[in-house]
Amino acid sequence: MRWLGARSRCIETDRGDNTLGGGPAPFHKEDSPRDKGPLVKGVLLVLFILSAVAMVRFTPIKSYLTPAGLGRFLETAGIWGPVIFALVYAAGVCLFIPGTLLTTLGGAIFGAYQGFLYVWVGAMLGASAAFWIGRTLGRDLAASLVGDRLKKYDEAIERNGFATVLYLRLVYFPFTPMNFGMGLTRVRFRDYFFGTGLGIIVGVFIFTFFVGAVRDVWASGDWRGLLSLKVLFSVALFVFSFFIPRIIKKIKGE
């Protein structure tokens, strides 16, 4: 009897220790502040996007998004004009300014060949910045929301990151949404960077060449130049660019 009484007291003591601190309470779980981290970052990403759109829509930024307005601003920068333009292009990408508008400005201000170079550099800077914004603020939340059915696609993008990014760039997938969206996936930045760099070359060259050719004719005042070989070739390339996605899909057998 004494042995049973002592054992009973020991069992009660063990239960009390487990409840008071010897181990976790069986039916009580406190929320960890870390669990809220992905949600907070996701909210910050949404606020960033909304703020970017509002900034472009409701501030004087739009007044500079013309060849004359931006051109005057770049003239005051002297030899640093191309560098500033590339940074403006990169910022514009992060602010959801359409890439076609920014590319048109580059071709109209700098011409076909220099415009191509400066636009490509600016686009790469903007694409990289937007990717890291999406990766830093949205990846954790996206990973927590990905279910078993979507997980295999996320893993496939990681395995075939370069080919996936290259293909989407060649078929003209919307530039800015893709920049942020790829940051939410498991794609490696190296694959994203080189896939983007190679994938946008064709589109950037065709568009800046077309705008630059028209700009040269406009500047000369000789409208007969619209029938020149350079302009006709640029028009042919521009029209051809709209068929590139269809050609690529046909090659892939889709």
Number of domains the chain is built from: 1
CB contact burial 235-251 (16+ within 10 A = b; e otherwise): eebbeebeeeeeeeeee
Q: 3-state class of 1 per DSSP?
A: coil
As given in the structure block, the two tokens for residue 144 are: 């927590």
C-alpha closest to that of 126 among 96, 100, 101, 106:
96
How far is 240 from 233, CA to CA, in rounded Å?
10
* Domain assignment of residue 30, yes or no: no
Give every CB contact of residue 167 below 8 A, 6+ residues apart in sequence. 199, 248, 252
Domain containing residue 203: 38-251
* Domain assignment of residue 15, yes or no: no
* Of 59 and 177, the one with more pLDDT: 177
**pTM, two decimal places:** 0.77
* Domain assignment of residue 33, yes or no: no
* Domain assignment of residue 8, yes or no: no
Q: What is the pLDDT of residues 22-65, one digit of tens each?
A: 444 443 444 455 567 778 888 888 898 888 888 878 887 877 78
* Domain assignment of residue 24, yes or no: no
How far is 82 from 58, CA to CA, in rounded Å?
27
Q: What is the pLDDT of residues 87-118, one digit of tens each?
A: 999 999 999 998 899 999 999 999 989 999 99
Average pLDDT over residues 231-235: 79
* pLDDT at 203 exceeding the cut of 60: yes
* Domain assignment of residue 6, yes or no: no
* Domain assignment of residue 42, yes or no: yes
Share of the chain above pLDDT 90, in %: 33
Across the chain, what does the average pLDDT equal? 81
